[in-house]
Amino acid sequence: MQLGENPWLLIGLTFLELLFVIVPALISSRLEKKSFIDIMKDMGFQKNEDLFLKILSGLSLGILFFFFGNYIIIFFRDFIIGNLFGAEFVEQAQEGAISTAPIQPTIIQLIIFVILQIIVVGPCEEAFFRGFLIKKFNTKIKLIYSIIISSICFTIYHVPPFLVPITTIITFSGYYFTFGFLLSLIFVYFNYSIIPCAVAHSCFNLLLFVL
């Protein structure tokens, strides 16, 4: 599925990621009798100490993810799935994958896309999958289980059932789960700050697009 054939449509869809922040914050504020702003702060949108260090760490980790990401996908796609189900299965999986890279964008579209990756995609996904889910589940269950649930949700979002074939789900779930798990560990290591994982996430996405 190629979403980038119409760059303006892709840009519009990217704005929908704001719902990752707005909807959970609205629902949670009602249920917990807390203000919308307080919930947003709980999700990670607050003043951070050591901001420069966290941004620098996020950039470094994003670059590291980019260079090792190909090995991770080769491990799951070719070594595990390819050996289990064969090359034709993997080929069908790749044909069914969702691509969000804009095709032949204008310079204006390209600039908007890059800005949205930095200020919307990374922060909003990390605020929900890490800042919201891990914190909420961790009040009820152990941290490791919270991380696993968050990583599973992250995986489902990127290989959504009913939108992609089962071959794509099987082939790429391990890849997305691994990245979700690593981003969760970064979130916990930096004392539940979404800054490093959001920067790493955005940096990784941009490097995939540019290179």
Q: What is the pLDDT of residues 58-94, one digit of tens each?
A: 999 999 999 999 999 999 999 999 999 999 999 999 9
Tens digits of per-residue pLDDT, 113-167? 999 999 999 999 999 999 999 999 999 999 999 999 999 999 999 999 989 999 9
**What tokens does 107 get?**
């310079």
**Long-range contact set of residues 145-149: C-beta below 8 Å, sequence gap at least 24:** 147/181, 147/184, 147/185, 147/188, 148/181
Say if residues 151 and 184 touch (Cβ distance below 8 Å): yes
pTM here is 0.94
Q: Where are the chain's structural domains?
A: 3-210
Strand extents, DSSP E, the chain: none
Say if residues 147 and 72 touch (Cβ distance below 8 Å): no
